[in-house]
């Protein structure tokens, strides 16, 4: 799913009509769900299709098929088939286990019980038997089996409370209310006589919206909105029972519509690996062509004089195509057959290490870090640009009412960004209320608005009132008003009761004009206790100020106070009201009613209707709410900046608020120069960007200690094709970028721009639904498990509970995983080159006949058994240095960030190294046995005897090479290196006795005894691997002695257990690194 779909949802299907008490007319999907990938019958074909859609597996399948052609395969019919089957079996078992778990979970859900009205009485059925149009009864603490429209409930005014944490992660209860026309339909007879239909929108993934119209026979149609809809997966709380009509079932429910996988992302290393496999395939073709040419030359030179060759040559099947197939099969092991499954196991284990990390366990909520994908583990070690939301990501999203301005006067105390936050406290405000200050009526109206204009639900807990709010801001404002004597006590579907300074007032709620990210405000139309019609509104200053009456007071004073609050890093809302006439309201209500029952573009038409009446406001003042920084955010940001990670903050808050937070978390220092981009038109945006680019001169395109600050209005113009590249060049020249007043779409567009143009790895982190777009657009998406629900987490690649955990996720897990994966890949390429190129050297000896030097099954088991363990230990347990060092010296991150250890150069170095080692192994071994040898009991040597020598030396060499590559030895490393060599020797001895008891490999009979008894073998056992690896050892010693990298210096300090060191003593290479940074 793309980020555009994530923001706006999947395409809505056509509207549907649901007939009540007429099941034959309702034909929709069943309520049975299945989240499994396979069924019993589809597993084999689907699994094989998925596996062979991978290029490497498809290549080995083709080789397996070619090997079945008679007289073509020099390696036998089954030598590729066996390891391929082993790999497919391992992957298949993993798929079966995972899918079986999903199947069991689905079975439990589908078998749950629910009460349904059928055949004139209530029946208990399973969830999977529920159909659209069914009348369902659900009791307290039960989960809803399908999406349904609420008909009635056991509570007054047919209200009910539901917990939606399974859907959105929000822990506060939501209130739902049945329509007045159906509220009294509670008895069987009434429900059975219910006659009508529901017209509603098609299934979609929008949790907070629903558009429908209820038609009852003999009644006018009335609208159904999200307040009348109960969704599958929500739990009924504090309500004895509810009755509802099912509108969506199974995969059409909003819960299942949101159960989509994140878009498939491939890491940079994975893309480079695909190219390297392609290079190896081209090398394989070159080797085959060289061998074909060699065969032609040899046959032409010697074939005519040798009778058995001549006979074979006369065969019509001996052609260039035949030779080409023979040599492709002979050299196909150049491509490591086990690489994909090895990486899959390695990455899965790395993901478990992240999940198990106690340092990223947030004990307050008992939330662990979760790797939702294992494909991007190494990408965590290459992040160059970090895009972060502010609220709930850098801050706690725990709001505290700190200050306010009423009638041009500021109340409250200055906030402090500490872990402990004080509530609103100003005795002056209470004095003004009690002593009849001229602003007393404004103060009363201000706090009355805060108590009325919201969607908070109060709950009684003894003598205390607990407020359930959909957003932390609303809860903070209601709690703040309560502490000052304005207590919101009761909510019904049509009224709210407020106790103001000891006196109770009831406001009749006529309409709620809901908040949306486009509107940036919410309003309530209420009838006051004195009978007046009044519209209360609270929202962003930009939308409130453009709707103010010309006669509104305190406009300039409040604006100045808003800027002051923003400099303190506070979140602000303006509050205003307007009085309505009865005539004006009735005219508007007619338009509102028409818009509310329209199925097409209902939300848009209703918002247009809201705009008609939200005007001529009288400003009362503004609120200021503090959102404290999370713990260790400044330290984390400082560390990430030292790791050469550039941080961009993308927020919807005011510019002054974002700047203040940036100072608080040390993203911006007092000495850092700032570039402000604020433009109201395309021409102005172009001029200011051009001027700043000109001012930078030669510094443009280089990283400078600058901060760029841009707002959403300017960004809208700056994304014009003519200037977007200049904007990007300017932004990339700054160390810090703050983007303010952004919409969710603009966040995603910024990430996409940097991702595509800068050609660097990006990471986006956020905690809310408005961050989903940028999280899915970035190379790596990280979700914060916070107070804004689970939308960000559910669409992320990794989830953590605190921003500070990002430090270990990137600098430790990211660096380790990058080293592990790249070393594992390069080692797999190297060891296959060593084995395969030996066959090329042997071709020069055997007249390019296609004869193999190794036994068939030994070739098959090379990747599967004899050299697999070192690859696993490199990929799972390798550490370039300790966790403590990686966190203490963040510059170590630049090694993985720049990708210098997994470049095309490193790939070819390993390939050439493998070719050289194969050359030494083959020709030294051949030289040792150049003179024919007679062994005990009269046995003589043959080509396979030489082959077993060479195979042993290959295994020993590549295992010891893995040891040389290992930077962090542990018991698993020792077991892998020495254990693999021992496994081969034991196998060689035992395999020699298989035939004739096991009818395979008769040519290997007694080979183990012959090899082990030969003194040449043991001489070569020590000399040949030493001759191969001595160059690597010398090169490593020279590098570590005379050309130390910063990493080697840190590792040396670890070895001598030095905890402090003088930076002035570092080598020139490290000083050049500092200059680069």
The residue behind tokens 């923001």 is 7
Residues whose CB is less than 8 angstroms from the CB of residue 91 and which lie 6 or more positions away in sequence, other chains included: 51, 341, 344
Give every CB contact of residue 534 below 8 A, 6+ residues apart in sequence: 525, 526, 527, 528, 577, 578, 579, 580
CA angle at residue 850 from 847 to 854, to 5 degrees?
110
Active-site residue, selected from the candidate residues 147, 323, 389, 711: 389
Rounded Cα distance, 371 and 368, in Å: 10
Distance CA 1055, CA 1061 (A): 13
Q: What is the DSSP string of 50-116?
A: HHHTSHHHHHHHHHHHHHTSTTT-TT-SSTTHHHHHHHHHHHHHHHHHHHHHHHHHHHHHHT-EEEE
What 3-state DSSP class applies to 524?
strand
Least Cα distance to 3 among 802, 789, 750 occurs for 750
- Half-sphere exposure (CA, 13 Å, Cβ side) for 116? 24
The encoded tokens of residue 377 equal 């583990």
Q: Give CA–CA dist 45/921, Å, rounded.
A: 43
To which residue do tokens 């109770």 refer?
Answer: 504
Separation of CA 1003 from chain center: 54
DSSP at 366:
T
- Phi, psi at residue 187, to the nearest 5°? -90, 155
Q: Which residue blocks in 929-1014 are alpha helix, DSSP H?
A: 943-965, 971-991, 1007-1013
269 contacts: CB under 8 Å, gap ≥ 6: 378, 379, 818, 821, 822, 825, 902
- Of 166, 232, 174, nearest to 31 (Cα)? 232
Q: In the structure encoding, which two tokens stand for residue 992, read together? A: 């020699």
Question: CA separation (Å) from 698 to 702, 704, 706, 903?
Answer: 8, 11, 15, 29
Whether residue 942 lies in the annotated active site: no
15 phi and psi angles, rounded to 5 deg: -65, 155
Distance CA 936, CA 940 (A): 9
Selection from 377, 382, 379, 368 nearest residue 344 by Cα:
377
241: which 2 tokens? 């029972």
First to last CA, the chain: 37
Query: Could you tell me the two tokens for 835?
Result: 């084995």
- Spatial contact of 818 and 643, defined as CB atoms under 8 Å apart: no
Number of residues assigned to the chain: 1077
Q: Is the dihedral of CA 968, 974, 976, 981 positive or negative?
A: positive
Secondary structure element (H or E) that encloses residue 623, with its range: strand 618-629
The residues, any chain, with a CB within 8 Å of residue 280's CB and separated by 6 or more, are: 334, 335, 829, 911
Strands 704-711 and 734-740: parallel
3-state helix/strand/coil string of 853-901: CCCHHHHHHHHHHHCHHHHHHHHHHCCCCCHHHHHHCHHHHHHHHHCCC
Q: Measured between alpha carbons, how far is 480 from 486 in angstroms, rounded to an integer?
A: 9
Tell me which residues are annotated as active site: 389
């Amino acid at each position: 799913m793309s980020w555009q779909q994530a923001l706006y949802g999947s395409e809505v299907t056509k509207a549907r009509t649901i007939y009540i008490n007429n099941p034959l007319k309702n034909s929709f999907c069943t309520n049975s769900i299945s989240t499994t990938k396979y069924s019993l019958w589809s597993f084999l074909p689907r699994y094989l299709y998925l596996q062979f859609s991978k290029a490497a597996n498809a290549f080995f399948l083709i080789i397996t098929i070619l090997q079945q052609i008679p007289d073509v395969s020099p390696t036998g019919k089954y030598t590729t088939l066996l390891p391929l089957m082993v790999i497919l079996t391992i992957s298949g078992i993993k798929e079966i286990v995972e899918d079986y778990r999903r199947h069991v979970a689905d079975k439990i859900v589908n078998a749950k019980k629910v009460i349904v009205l059928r055949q004139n009485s209530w029946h208990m059925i399973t969830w999977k038997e529920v159909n659209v149009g069914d009348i369902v009864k659900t009791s307290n603490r039960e989960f809803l089996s399908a999406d349904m429209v609420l008909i009635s409930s056991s509570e007054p005014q047919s209200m009910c409370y539901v917990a939606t944490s399974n859907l959105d992660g929000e822990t506060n209860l939501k209130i739902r209310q049945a329509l007045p026309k159906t509220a009294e339909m509670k008895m069987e007879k009434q429900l059975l006589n219910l006659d009508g239909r529901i017209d509603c929108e098609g299934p979609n993934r929008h949790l907070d919206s629903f558009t429908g119209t209820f038609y009852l026979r003999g009644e006018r149609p009335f609208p159904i909105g999200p307040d009348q809809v109960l969704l599958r997966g929500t739990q009924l709380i504090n309500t004895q029972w509810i009755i509802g009509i099912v509108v969506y079932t199974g995969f059409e429910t909003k819960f299942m519509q949101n159960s989509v996988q994140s878009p498939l992302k491939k890491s940079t290393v994975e893309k480079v690996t695909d190219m390297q496999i392609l290079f190896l395939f081209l090398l394989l073709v070159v080797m085959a062509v060289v061998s074909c040419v060699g065969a032609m030359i040899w046959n032409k030179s010697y074939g005519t004089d040798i009778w058995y060759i001549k006979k074979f040559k006369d065969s019509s099947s001996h052609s260039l195509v035949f030779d080409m197939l023979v040599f492709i099969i002979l050299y196909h092991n150049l491509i490591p057959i086990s690489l994909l499954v090895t990486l899959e196991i390695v990455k899965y284990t790395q993901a478990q290490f992240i999940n198990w990390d106690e340092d990223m366990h947030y004990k307050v909520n008992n939330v662990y870090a979760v790797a939702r994908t294992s494909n991007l583990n190494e990408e965590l070690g290459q992040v160059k640009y970090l895009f972060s939301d502010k609220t709930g990501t850098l801050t706690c999203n725990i709001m505290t009412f700190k200050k306010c301005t009423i009638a041009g006067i500021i109340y409250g105390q200055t906030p402090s960004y500490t872990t402990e936050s004080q509530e609103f406290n100003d005795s002056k405000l209470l004095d003004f209320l009690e002593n009849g200050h001229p602003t007393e009526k404004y103060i009363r109206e201000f706090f009355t608005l805060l108590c009325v204009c919201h969607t908070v639900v109060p709950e009684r807990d003894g003598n205390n009132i607990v407020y359930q709010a959909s957003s932390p801001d609303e809860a903070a404002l209601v709690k703040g008003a309560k502490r000052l004597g304005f207590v919101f006590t009761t909510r019904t579907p049509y009224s709210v009761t407020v106790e103001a300074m000891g006196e109770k007032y009831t406001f009749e709620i006529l309409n709620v004009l809901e908040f949306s990210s486009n509107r940036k405000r919410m309003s309530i139309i209420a009838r006051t206790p004195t009978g007046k019609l009044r519209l209360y509104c609270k929202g962003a200053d930009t939308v409130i100020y453009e709707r103010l009456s010309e006669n509104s007071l305190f406009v300039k004073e409040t604006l100045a106070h808003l800027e002051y609050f923003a400099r303190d890093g506070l979140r602000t809302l303006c509050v205003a009201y307007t009085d309505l006439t009865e005539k004006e309201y009735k005219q508007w209500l007619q338009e509102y009613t028409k818009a509310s029952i329209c199925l097409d573009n209902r939300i848009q038409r209703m918002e247009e209707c809201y705009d008609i009446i939200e005007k001529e406001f009288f400003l009362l003042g503004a609120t200021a709410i503090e959102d404290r920084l999370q713990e260790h955010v400044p330290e984390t940001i400082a560390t990430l900046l030292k790791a050469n990670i550039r941080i961009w903050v993308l927020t919807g808050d005011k510019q002054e608020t974002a700047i203040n937070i940036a100072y608080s978390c040390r993203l911006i220092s007092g000495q850092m120069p700032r570039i402000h981009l604020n433009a109201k038109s395309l021409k102005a945006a172009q001029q200011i960007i051009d001027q700043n680019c000109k001012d930078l001169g030669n510094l443009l395109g280089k990283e400078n200690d600058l901060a760029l600050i841009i707002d959403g209005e300017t960004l809208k113009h700056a994304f014009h094709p003519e200037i977007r590249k200049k904007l990007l060049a300017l932004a990339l020249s700054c160390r810090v970028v703050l983007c303010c007043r952004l919409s969710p779409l603009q966040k995603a567009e910024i990430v996409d721009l940097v991702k595509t143009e800068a050609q660097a790895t990006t990471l986006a982190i956020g905690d809310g639904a408005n961050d989903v777009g940028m999280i899915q657009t970035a190379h790596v998406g990280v979700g914060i498990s916070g107070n804004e629900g689970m939308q960000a987490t559910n669409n992320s690649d990794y989830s953590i509970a605190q921003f500070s955990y990002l430090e270990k996720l990137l600098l430790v897990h990211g660096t380790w995983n990058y080293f592990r994966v790249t070393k594992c890949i390069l080692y797999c390429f190297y060891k296959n080159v060593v084995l395969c190129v030996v066959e090329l050297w042997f071709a020069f000896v055997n007249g390019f006949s296609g004869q193999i030097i190794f036994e068939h099954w030994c070739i098959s088991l090379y990747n599967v058994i004899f050299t697999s363990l070192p690859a696993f230990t490199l990929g799972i347990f390798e550490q370039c240095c300790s966790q403590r060092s990686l966190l203490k010296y963040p510059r170590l991150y630049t090694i993985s960030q720049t990708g210098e250890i997994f470049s095309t150069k490193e790939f070819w170095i390993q390939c050439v190294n493998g070719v050289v080692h194969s050359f030494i192994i083959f020709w030294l071994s051949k030289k040792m046995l150049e003179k024919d040898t007679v062994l005990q009991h009269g046995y003589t040597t043959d080509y396979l005897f030489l082959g077993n020598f060479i195979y042993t030396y290959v295994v020993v060499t590549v295992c010891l090479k893995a040891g040389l590559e290992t930077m962090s030895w542990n018991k698993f490393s020792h077991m892998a290196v020495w254990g693999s060599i021992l496994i081969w020797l034991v196998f060689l001895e035992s395999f020699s006795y298989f035939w004739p008891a096991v009818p395979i490999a008769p040519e290997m009979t007694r080979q183990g005894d012959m090899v082990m008894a030969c003194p040449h073998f043991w001489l070569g056992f020590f000399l040949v691997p030493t001759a191969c690896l001595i160059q690597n050892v010398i090169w490593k010693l020279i590098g570590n002695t005379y050309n130390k990298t910063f990493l080697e210096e840190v590792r040396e300090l670890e070895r001598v257990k030095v905890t402090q060191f003088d930076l002035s003593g570092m080598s020139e290479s490290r000083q050049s690194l500092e200059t680069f940074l």
